[in-house]
Structure 1
């Protein structure tokens, strides 16, 4: 048992010490690109907000859970606990919304030559920042309402739920119905859209690969366009997200259905929920190999400017 507890402590520590620098590195990269070009591509803008959502998840869920498994128990009061859980729900909702937006936008982009969607893409590019801002405001309001309602009803229930770093009073039926209608159902709908758009992109990439192979056999050589390379990068991110999101939803459902669920189930759920925010940035870095180069060049130029 001591070995497994030590392993859990190391796993959560690794998730935090890799996830936070990974997300901040990508945010730093996009800020460098914005400083140079004064504008970000739509996919980069969406990814920047996704990294911000991932950072919120790690700071609000990963850090407290890591402190709890390392022995610091119940260090948050009820108000702080409700605030932390609201930030967790907010970050999760923003992560899936931005992922869905990224997947649909990229699917429209690579299919614009085949379908008459060019006008829609132009409008989407123009208002993409407004869409993301609206999503941020909407989910801030939703989670604010849940947090205030939980604080108002805190004296009416005695059943608590233990998270290790804090305990909260279980929600009543009204808040559960509202949460299912405003958060869980949209998340399920967004996950279906992600799966559909990812499958759509896979079909287009497969047909493109067949055309490339035909061109190589007739003309000798051919290169994939940057558009399709970007689609492959995003597909890698989408598949990673869907895999961890599905496992996380299953584990969350088990916790909700089982009244006396074990401590191990809570730990597994936390690990799965933190996996995409922690390791997702490295999926992008693996494909965008020039990210570290941009960051190092920027730091070198800044140091040279300060010194000389």
Structure 2
């Protein structure tokens, strides 16, 4: 096994274990307490990231499908489709997370305050719409990916050891790229707008409270810690997204397999779903206290 594959397997293993742990803890919180909408969003994002890593190519799921005697084409289409659905949901739910937090910390005098109770009421419908959209939007990949057995093929874009992108017309390829880019640019723009609003609120709050010097006031509130965590995740997501986009755009233009570029892309794609649960576990006091309680028993 090459050193690059070792790094990818270590990254994937760490990401899956961290997301599994966080998913278990969020499920425990949601079932044991009255769940907050933010908990439902974070729990769903955790599940999405776990599935995203598991279907990221050359994974355990592919080996399981192969052991069940499924054909290479079915195995390829299934894992690639699920992975693309999860990647689409990742950007959608991350966007929802930033928008939700921007609304929740808005002062009562803000025009966004009127949406607070509406978001709590309609959060399930929002989830349904996001899942339905991404399941339909990613269905096009059933036609543009295929399994292969001839590993000597070099003029194809291989996405895993048994899966490649089917050559398509330049017009269709350009249309696919345009539609996908339009969706992602819109969502990233919404994220950045919500994050800017959050930063403005935090800055204004800090200015209003700077005359307070007691330790109790200087300590960050749970809401402020959660807000800072979300800002960190959004910034990291945006950086990783554009790095991934540049790499993907390069591969589409070249339409030629390059093992180094593909390896770097896999590492970049899995960076966000691997780092996210670690950040959430270390920054959420409820999670930390729950881990301490489980450890003491």
Range class of TM-score, shorter chain: 0.7 to 0.9
Matched, 1:250 2:246: yes
Distance 1:239 1:122, change over 3 A: same
Deviation at 1:299, TM superposition (A): 8.1
Deviation at 1:172, TM superposition (A): 3.5
Aligned counterpart, 1:265: 261
Matched, 1:45 2:40: yes
Matched, 1:214 2:211: yes
1:57 partner SS: helix
Matched, 1:201 2:218: no
Partners of 1:114 and 1:76 in 2: how far apart? 59
Deviation at 1:171, TM superposition (A): 3.4
Distance 1:182 1:83, change over 3 A: farther
Deviation at 1:268, TM superposition (A): 0.6
Cα deviations by residue, 1:83-106 (Å, 9 ceiling, x for unpaired): 211111111100000000010111
Tell me how many residue pairs correspond in the alignment. 283
- Output aligned runs, 1:1-308, within 5 Å: 6-37=2-33, 39-61=34-56, 63-64=58-59, 77-147=72-142, 149-150=143-144, 160-168=156-164, 169-173=166-170, 175-176=172-173, 179-180=176-177, 182-216=179-213, 222=217, 223-260=219-256, 262-295=258-291, 297=293
Cα deviations by residue, 1:125-180 (Å, 9 ceiling, x for unpaired): 11111101221122112223441x3489x9xxxx7432341233223456535533
8 Å CA contact 2:158, 2:257 repeated in 1: no
Unaligned segments of structure 1, at least 5 residues: 69-74, 302-308
TM superposition score normalised by structure 2: 0.84
- Decide which moves more: 117-126 or 175-184: 175-184
1:132 partner SS: helix
8 Å CA contact 1:32, 1:295 repeated in 2: no
Unaligned segments of structure 2, at least 5 residues: 64-69, 149-154
TM superposition score normalised by structure 1: 0.81
Cα deviations by residue, 1:223-244 (Å, 9 ceiling, x for unpaired): 4433222211211211221121
1:214 partner SS: coil
Deviation at 1:16, TM superposition (A): 1.4
Partners of 1:245 and 1:128 in 2: how far apart? 25
1:112 partner SS: coil
